[in-house]
Amino acid sequence: MKIKVMIVDDQMLVRSGIKSLLMLSEAIDVVAEASDGEQAIWLIQEKQPDVVLMDIRMPAMSGIDTLQALNQTVLDKPQPPVIMLTTFNDHELVVSALQAGAKGYLLKDVSLETLVDAIECVHKGETLIQPAISERVVKQLSASDSQFESIVELPEFSAKELEILRFMAAGCSNREISAAVYKSEGTVKNYVSTILAKLGVRDRTRAVLKAIEVGLIK
């Protein structure tokens, strides 16, 4: 089954460009396009995409405003994961988007391979952290996120868990980590689940931030 994707961007040329790129992939089916946040909300309800690619900067209703509105909207099905489309200069907005529930972000000039990998990643329930994520974004999100619970006594991490944690911090997907550490993708997924449990967090983004906070990685 193809992954149903919806594109939200106020610029028609950007939407057309992303759609043309995705049409080259046999794994993706673009089921809807929206030019603003308000249109996106009702189209998500109607088309029920598996993944939404959304511009972080839009007039009237930004991508973050749209995401927050979606969080308060009762949908027939669970809200699809949202990947924010951004530029190099959107550090503060990226922080706000992640805090609002975005499952990751991509630069608008991303390659087809990276774009498809990102879509598949969030479709499987994972959180995307691109290697391009800046130290500034990590520090801002870590400093402003009060949702972490204190770990009274830090559990021990094996050398392999720490290795995989560093790959997670670099933004690698389970597939990429699998190839790098010569383990099956299922084994890597189990490692990631163990790491999340030991850190007391629910997703990869917070795992990386928590690991930085407690000094596991730098």
User: So what's the pLDDT on residue 148?
Assistant: 46
Neighbouring residues of 4: CB distance < 8 A, sequence distance ≥ 6: 29, 31, 47, 48, 49, 50, 51
Which position has the token pair 């909300």?
A: 41
Q: Residue 5 pLDDT more than 90?
A: yes
pLDDT per residue as tens digits for the range 107-127: 877 788 888 988 998 888 876
Q: Chain-wide mean pLDDT for the chain? A: 82
Q: How far apart are CA 213 and CA 9, in angstroms?
A: 35
Q: Residue 139 pLDDT more than 70?
A: no
Question: Which structure tokens are listed for 44?
Answer: 């998500």
What pTM was computed for the model? 0.66
Q: What percent of the chain has pLDDT over 90?
A: 31
User: So what's the pLDDT on residue 138?
Assistant: 57
> Of 107 and 46, which is predicted with more confidence?
46
CA angle 200, 206, 208 (to 5 degrees): 100
